[in-house]
Amino acid sequence: MSFEGFTRFLCDPVNFAFVPETIEPDEEDLRYPLSHYYINSSHNTYLTGHQLKGPSSSEMYRQVLLTGCRCVELDCWDGDDGLPLIYHGHTLVSKIGFRQVVEIIKKSAFITSDLPVILSIENHCSLQQQAKMAQMFKTVLGDLLVTNFLFEADFSDSPRLPCPLQMKNKILIKNKKMIVDVPTPLPMIDRGAIQRGETNLTLHRKQSKNSYESSTVDEVEDDDLDEFLDDEENEEDDQEEVPVRGEKDDSPKASKRAEKSARNIKQQDSLCSDHSVEQAKPSTSKSASKTNEGKTEDEVLYAQLAQNAIRNQQPRKNNTGVQIAPELSDIVIYMQATKFKGFPPVEGIQSPRLIVEDPPTSTTSLSFSTRSRTPSTLLSTPAPPRRQRSSTQLSQELQSEYLSSARPNATATCYQVTSLNENAAKKLMKRHPAKCISYTRDHLIRTYPSAKHYDSSNFNPINCWAHGMQMVALNFQTPDVIMAVNQAMFEQSGNCGYQLKPRCLWDESHLLYNKFLPLSKDIAGHSALLLNLTIISGQHVYPNTHYASLYVEIEVIGIHNDCVREKSKVVQRNSVNPIWNHTTQLRIACVDLAFLRIAVCDSGQNGRVVAHRVVPVKCIRPGFRHLPLRTSTNLPIDNAMIFLRTRFEQEEHIYLHDDDSNSYCNLEHTLAYRTDLTPNLSPTPILKKQIFVLRITGAFADETAITVHSESGSTVKTVMQQALLNAGKNADQVEEYVLIEESLPAPSGEDPIEQRVLPLNEPIMDAVACWNGSMRRFVLRKKGSDPSSRAWITSIIKSGTGGSSTSVSPSPLIKDGHVKSASSNQLHGRSLDTDAEHLEVTEGLNPRARSMGDTFLVCVHNVSEDQPYAILRAGINSTAADIIRQVFVKARRPNVDDAEYVLVEETCDDTKINQGQSMLQALSLARKRSNDLTPKYPNNRTTSRVLGPNENVWKAQSRWKSMGRFVLENRKDTVHATLEKGRRVESTTSSSSSTTTTRKISLSSVRSIGLPRKFSKFGKSLTMDAGPK
């Protein structure tokens, strides 16, 4: 390929880093209940700008629906001509006709997406105009409007919301719905009247036993939520959110003034009578001038409008509930607006269809809920005089006939939708994060901006999404960074308006199910995705300007722990093709809710953004790519691109103790480029980055263990520094301490405790590489000034060089019954069933390995020239082929054919080890990065054996009676040549057996005496002449 052809290949739109235009919705992802999705939602859709003043337009509904929005809002008020209007009540915005809006919705609803559209009604109309609203909905929308329960699940005792795929090309009404209950005691009712649905029922505007109180205005303010939170203890304020660049950031005083004024103005929601708005006039009194001093023009206007709204408010009537026209109630099916009154009990999440109670009295109370199609005053039919029956018999008969009629469970709580403003949602998420996530698995919650966003700015929706809230309504008329994030969220599903929530929020099989808490610091302990990003250069990034001095701002917008922002260097006077070559690594714990924003800023204009792009992290394609840029209002810019390189890595926690498996789970983050594959094209593998979880004792008097994260190249000094930092001993110097590797005795108590002081510059994992299932631990000890302490440390150091050790008396830290191996004595994770039982009774296993967990630590040597070993935590059922495959993933050699390699077991006969040599000293070879097991002890007999591809590695390691290791070898260079060489060696040794001593040696010894490293065959040892050369 020529250079020009390669350039065209890179600039081809098919190869861009993110191509949302080619994404199609996956039908398999659209088969879950509506509560499992984020729904693209609009707030005050009719507004074109400010919340308090300016024009309203029905055209906004067309534009918003064409962007893929699936939930639009209609604020309905009584019109003077008897027809309802849509406008923002008690403000200075203009009014538009209700019918005009409905007609535009019908024409534009399913052009961009055929998935269901939700009309969120904020109802302030009288009963007469509500009836006209319902008539217009039916007349204009026709068959598009859902007016009945449609699916079999709606008639069951445990109904659920339908899925988006079932509701294609359908429009749903979200509004308050009347609840119908049967009064008690039950009078005599005619059987025919029951069959016709005509019973002596009374409409109650109150909550049934297992549902929530409905409200005409379903929005919940701070005061409403405080009613639920009154019993909660006072907690600290929300942790400070990382502000998104471009998001409104008011000063505390301004926010407080706006909130106070906004709370008054929002009282408009309870007004249903006088909707006229008096013209706001500026106050001329001195007191008013003082009050308005220091306020912005919008704040003054907000306060004046609030006073007008209070003056216009009429006293509420003492009704038992708010009024709703039955015609409008009848077309509210799956989206029943309710006021939030708290979380239901676990067993009450789904309300039963029929509740029969038998009190000790002579009458029986039967209470059920059903959707009524009769007028608000239902007919009452007297009982026939022909036969007298007891109320109990009548109740049973009524129950039987009711069940046979198969009425839908219309009042199931899964159909109830709660609306919370931004501040109320924050309080709920802060105090009850787990309950909030659990509640939103089956129920819909809608959130909308608080009153401080009177300028139509938006709030960051990530936190609401992270807690499962489905409909985060935003001001679409303001094209800010938040709207770019919202657009990126739904672009990854083909802009269909529905995005499946992260599986940890609803999938019981997910590792983080019921464990994911977005605001918790513990989420940082989970394995994260590492995005290695290099911003290489830009092309035509500043339209119509060629000599600007530009820099790049890189930002991750996500949950609190993932948010980060950094800047590149400034390239002077070049906006045509600036070259930055800025490299960074971004750690992302929650990939599904992480968005990468790349902004090009002009340093000569105080960092003004001249172009930017927001993309979902999970949809970024790796490699060298171009990313098209957009304007600050999120519109495309011709030929403006960023040339970048991306590479993904996956953190993998290798915990040395089984108890840590409950705190650290290895997640496989799903990336779009690995699931949406072109035929015959394999995905680029995700490289693994191992994070070793170490426990260090000795920092506290009670021997509490400190958890330290270490990488392969971390030195002992680095680990000690992190341990002191985690222990809160920042002022202490590392030189005042020593880190001791201490062996723990076997449960039999036969082996003495051995200790070794680790040199500061030694890689900590060199010590771990020699554990091989034995019982060890790290102890942090402070150097004492007394002679006995100095003598104790000196005796450990002088017993050998660098990696030496000595046998000492049992440490006072080791107590009877407290000694554990590197793995706990109980199985963790999934049950092994018969496999675990079989492993327990296998003969010949080391006693301390019989009760290990379902994973074990294994070290494989001779991985590559630059990587002498690899430490893995593998399952106890892993075969040699499985281990080899994991080793190459760890070594970042995914393209190697693992079938060409074998795993070699090298063990040493411990009976030949001198009594003065300790096991720690014998196994110090890995610490010195040696590939040879025997040169250090030339008089010891070692045995090499090739493991079969299906041989269990854990069993092989557990049978070791002394030191040993696994070595990775190439099958081609080792196995086949070994057969011929082995025969020649055997013939030579047999002819000179009278003068030569033979012994079994390892392959590394073969290298040391100048012979090729070869094998006989699988499962057999190779005997060679290893006498002196």
Known catalytic residues are: 43, 88
State both tokens at 41.
């939602």
CA pair distance 601, 580, nearest whole angstrom: 13
Q: Are 579 and 571 contacting, i.e. CB atoms less than 8 angstroms apart? A: yes
- The residues with which 715 forms a beta bridge, in sequence order, are 763
CA pair distance 826, 437, nearest whole angstrom: 32
Q: Are 174 and 417 contacting, i.e. CB atoms less than 8 angstroms apart? A: yes
Q: What angle do CA 1010, 1016, 1021 make, to 5 degrees?
A: 85
CA pair distance 623, 736, nearest whole angstrom: 47
DSSP class of 138: I
CA pair distance 939, 169, nearest whole angstrom: 83
CA pair distance 794, 802, nearest whole angstrom: 12
**How many Å is the maximal CA-CA distance in the chain?**
124
C-alpha distances (whole Å) from 629 to each of 16, 482, 642 are 11, 16, 7
φ and ψ of 513, to 5 deg: -60, 130
Query: 335-367: string of b/e by CB count within 10 Å (b at 16+)?
Result: bbbbbbbebbeeeebbbbbeeeeeeeeebbbbe
CA pair distance 249, 130, nearest whole angstrom: 40
The beta-carbon contacts of 315-323 under 8 Å, at least 24 apart in sequence, are 316/270, 319/205, 320/204, 320/205, 320/206, 321/204, 321/205, 321/206, 321/214, 322/176, 322/205, 322/215, 322/216, 322/217, 323/127, 323/205, 323/216, 323/272
3-state helix, strand, coil in the chain (%, to 5): 30, 25, 45
CA pair distance 874, 60, nearest whole angstrom: 57
State both tokens at 995.
């003068």
Q: What is the dihedral of CA 785, 791, 796, 800, to 10 degrees?
A: 120
CA pair distance 791, 737, nearest whole angstrom: 15
**Which residue is associated with the tokens 């009540």?**
89
Q: In whole angstroms, what separates CA 334 from the centre of its chain?
A: 28
CA pair distance 360, 476, nearest whole angstrom: 59
Choose among 742, 759, 760: nearest CA to 751.
742
**Computed from CA positions of residues 594, 599, 603, 604, in that sequence, does the dihedral angle turn out positive or negative?**
negative
The residues, ordered by sequence, that sit 6+ positions from 265 with a Cβ below 8 Å of its Cβ are 90, 91, 302, 305, 306, 309, 451
Choose among 128, 109, 139, 102: nearest CA to 40.
109
Give the Cβ contact number of residue 206 at 10 Å: 12
CA pair distance 371, 177, nearest whole angstrom: 9
**Helix (H) or strand (E) run with residue 537 in it:** strand 529-539
**Which residue is associated with the tokens 């006995």?**
788
Q: Are 122 and 219 contacting, i.e. CB atoms less than 8 angstroms apart? A: yes
The residues, ordered by sequence, that sit 6+ positions from 47 with a Cβ below 8 Å of its Cβ are 54, 56, 60, 88, 93, 456, 475, 477
